[in-house]
């Protein structure tokens, strides 16, 4: 009975995942966009740790050393970019992608335009949805986070980070777009480098920010579809429009 119950639960999860993917493909197939269904990750530990110090040195494009039990680390090392801050991994930029794929099994999609379909938006904060996006010869990290900046008022924060240096990030422009029920919301900006840390981006508000009621307008049965497009650009501008 235990074996049957576990197998039945796995089958139901697979059916649910396929149904979500079918709905997304039905909506976006006309545009020829790839769809990635992303399940939430309930973060185990939120703490400023590396990010507070990162804000003071992003101008140099170097993450400061992370002091743990008075140990001194190489300032060129990057902490794990997965929003599970309990992960103690550190490494150089060249191996960040391998770590995310092998250790955290983060999905990666290829193409200039994709659709990020985040499921179970109703889950309590803090919750994260994350994928990697391979495009134009570089890898990007899309993070959608549900977090309470004010107690009792959760918000959604979506941002695109380049797995590279700030100088490299300046060469790109990313666009996040929500489109449902004759409503459209678009955010366009220059991506930030992963050296600057996701927490600092959210604290600065330099990302797409949705309150709960606005997110519900664009969600469908608890899932939020975000269209993603990346282009090369030297123009530095950001906008949010409806």
The domain that contains 160 carries what CATH number?
2.60.210.10
- Segment 87-98 shows an average pLDDT of 87
Average pLDDT across the chain, whole number:
76
In a domain, 45, yes or no: no
Could you report the per-residue pLDDT of 184-227, keeping only the tens digit for each? 999 999 999 988 888 888 888 899 999 999 999 999 999 999 99
**Confidence (pLDDT) at 175:** 96
Distance (Å, whole) CA 73 – CA 56: 17
Phi, psi of 31 (to 5 degrees): -85, -5
Cα(209)–Cα(165) distance, rounded to whole angstroms?
A: 24
Inside any domain, residue 154: yes
- Cβ burial of 231 (10 Å; 0-12, 13-18, 19+) is middle
**Domain limits for position 94:** 32-38+78-232
For residue 126, being part of any structural domain is answered with yes
**pLDDT tens-place string over residues 15-73:** 544 544 454 444 444 344 578 888 887 655 444 444 443 343 334 333 333 333 334 44
pLDDT at 154: 94
167 within domain boundaries:
yes
146 assigned to some structural domain: yes
Does residue 70 fall inside a structural domain?
Answer: no
Q: Mind listing the pLDDT tens digit for each residue in 101-137?
A: 888 888 888 887 899 999 999 999 989 999 999 999 9
Domain tally for the chain?
A: 1
Query: Is-above-0.75 flag for pTM?
Result: no
- The whole-number pLDDT of residue 24 equals 47
Rounded CA separation 166/192 (Å): 7
Q: What's the pLDDT score for residue 83?
A: 59
Higher pLDDT, 229 or 25: 229
User: In this structure, is residue 87 part of a structural domain?
Assistant: yes
- Residue 192: inside a domain: yes
């Amino acid at each position: 009975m235990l074996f049957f119950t576990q197998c039945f639960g796995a089958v139901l999860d697979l059916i649910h995942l396929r149904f979500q993917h079918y709905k997304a493909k039905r909506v976006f197939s006309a545009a020829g966009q790839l769809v990635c269904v992303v399940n939430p990750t309930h973060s185990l530990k939120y703490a400023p740790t590396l990010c507070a110090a990162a804000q003071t040195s992003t101008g140099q494009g170097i993450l400061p050393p992370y002091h743990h039990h008075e140990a001194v680390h190489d300032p060129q090392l990057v902490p794990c970019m997965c929003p599970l801050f309990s992960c103690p991994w550190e490494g150089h930029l060249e191996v960040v992608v391998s770590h995310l794929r092998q250790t955290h099994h983060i999905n990666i999609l290829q193409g200039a335009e994709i659709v990020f379909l985040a499921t179970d938006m109703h889950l309590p904060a803090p919750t994260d949805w994350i994928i990697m996006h391979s495009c134009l010869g570089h890898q990007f990290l899309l993070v959608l986070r549900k977090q309470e900046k004010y107690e009792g008022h959760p918000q959604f924060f979506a941002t695109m980070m380049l797995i590279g240096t700030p100088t490299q990030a300046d060469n790109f422009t990313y666009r996040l777009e929500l489109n449902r029920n004759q409503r459209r919301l678009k955010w366009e900006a220059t991506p930030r480098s992963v050296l600057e840390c996701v927490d600092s981006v959210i604290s600065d508000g330099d990302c797409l920010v949705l309150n709960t009621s606005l997110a519900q307008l664009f969600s469908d049965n608890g899932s939020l579809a975000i269209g993603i497009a990346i282009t090369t650009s030297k123009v530095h501008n950001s906008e949010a429009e409806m």
